[in-house]
Amino acid sequence: MSLDFVTLDVFTTTPYQGNPLGVVHLPHDRPITQAQKQAIAREFNLSETVFLHDVDPANDPDPTTRRIDIFMTKGELPFAGHPTIGAAAYLRSRGVTTLVTKAGPIPITAGPEAGVVYAAIPHDVHLNSRRLRDHDEAALRPGSLHATPAIRSAELAAPLFSIVNGMTFSLIRLPGLEALAQVSPGRFSVAAGDIMDEGWHETFIGRYYHVITGTGVGADGTRTVRLRTRMVEDEIEDPATGSAACALTSYLALHEYEEREVRFEVTQGVEMGRRSDIGVVVKVAVGRDGQRMVEGVQLGGRAVEIMRGADRQFLQLTRISKDNRLDQTNTTIQAMAPAPQSKNLWSMTASASNTTIVLPPQDEAPTPDLFTITIGIVGLFLTIATITIAWRQYLQQRHPALPPARTTIALNDMAGQVPATPSSPIQNDTRRVDHPSSETSLPTFNRTPDEHQSDDNE
């Protein structure tokens, strides 16, 4: 079974900028397992891969709704921003208006700007009661906090804010772009269970560094806030993180601005050479008690297609066993992205556009055809013949005086060629000398290590 795919660069219109995303089509009549999805996501080796379920005419009468699954290389996510925008941009021309994720349905619309799509992001925001400074700093693993005092202080004071239960970010405000440039990836050593509030323990925690670079008012009177950001998760930096941008802007709209609607322009990934432009609009409602609440979050962006699957040339899962463990993979895609999780430019060839994922039907590896087997056998024989010829040439060069076949020489027959003298020891000598044939035995095959060593010394 072939699984067609495309790759997109999300939150950009420039190829090889933004955040790469794999989008894999899943036929409705041939579902695959969670383990197989995870194996494919590891093969792509991108921050996220989306599995797009094709419409089942019998059970999905509404073609405007499509179900998606979002996988990192380590596991599945209920929601993530850049896969949602990538899938929305990819499906926009197909009339799709709703994406169904594990976090819930997400309506998508076309924005007023050319090529921009907006997704209404599911939200269940929560500001954690504790911050990193409330944790025992001595218990942190060395290197968890930045060595620069200003950045270290900001990390300890940063609020922990969840956009939904399971997606939490440490929102680290830095004084300027110079400090932002000093940020480096590092492992966040605090377990969620040690610092998160009750009911919010099972969560991803990322560090979202940010600098507010300017504010203004748009033509429609909406406040616009410009930000530069960097997202770090353990030892990895992400060039664009829609969920983190939604968490940060929701927090700012609730706690730092008074307007009912605030528009944010977020630029991320500049320091790692993959600039991403993320748009977020947050609407706030005010309760009778004056409490501000997030009413809606719209995440916007563009995407550009990079590769499209067409055949089995590069990426093939050759066998997935019955217990769903991956036995063997062709790792061409990983070779094109040299560092794991790297966002560096892939070294693609022109033929890289003709690629597809192939899963064997019924957990069986593809059976080679007769032509393939014949070519393989011929190639094997040619290889053996080449090695044999090279070895014989080597032996003849090492022992040039060795005749190629068994030869009997009558020494007295050489009298006409070798003038004899009275002192010549070969005159009238009729002894016969037998030389061993190179076809039946080669001297070097049975030589001792000491004899080889004497040759080397000579």
List pLDDT tens digits, range 334-384. 333 333 333 333 323 223 333 444 444 433 344 556 777 778 888 888 888
Q: What are phi and psi of 66, to 5 degrees?
A: -130, 140
List pLDDT tens digits, range 75-86. 998 888 999 999
How confident is the model at residue 143, as a pLDDT?
Answer: 63
- Give dist(CA 209, CA 173) in Å, integer: 6
Query: What amino acid occupies position 261?
Result: E
User: What is the chain's mean pLDDT, rounded?
Assistant: 77
* Nearest to 93, CA basis, from 64, 73, 122: 64
How confident is the model at residue 111, as a pLDDT?
Answer: 87
- 172, 155 contact by CB (below 8 A): yes
| Radius of gyration, alpha carbons of the chain | 35
* Nearest to 180, CA basis, from 155, 161, 205: 155
Q: Give the Å distances, CA to CA, from 149 to 152, 160, 169, 231.
A: 5, 20, 21, 20
List pLDDT tens digits, range 248-304. 999 999 999 999 999 999 999 999 999 999 999 999 999 888 899 999 999 999 999
In which residue are the tokens 């927090």 written? 251
Q: Write down the domain spans for the chain.
A: 2-119+305-363, 126-299, 370-457
The pTM assigned to this predicted structure is 0.66
**Topology given in CATH for the domain delimited by 2-119+305-363:** Diaminopimelate Epimerase; Chain A, domain 1 (3.10.310)
Higher pLDDT, 391 or 426: 391
- Of 61-70, 143-152, 205-214, the range with the lowest mean pLDDT is 143-152
Task: Provide the Cα torsion 271, 272, 275, 277; round to 10°.
Answer: -80
Residues 6+ apart with CB under 8 A from 411: 426, 429, 430, 431, 432, 433
Is CATH 3.40.50.300 the classification given to domain 126-299?
A: no
How much of the chain exceeds pLDDT 70, in percent?
70
> Do the domains spanning 2-119+305-363 and 126-299 agree at the CATH topology level?
yes
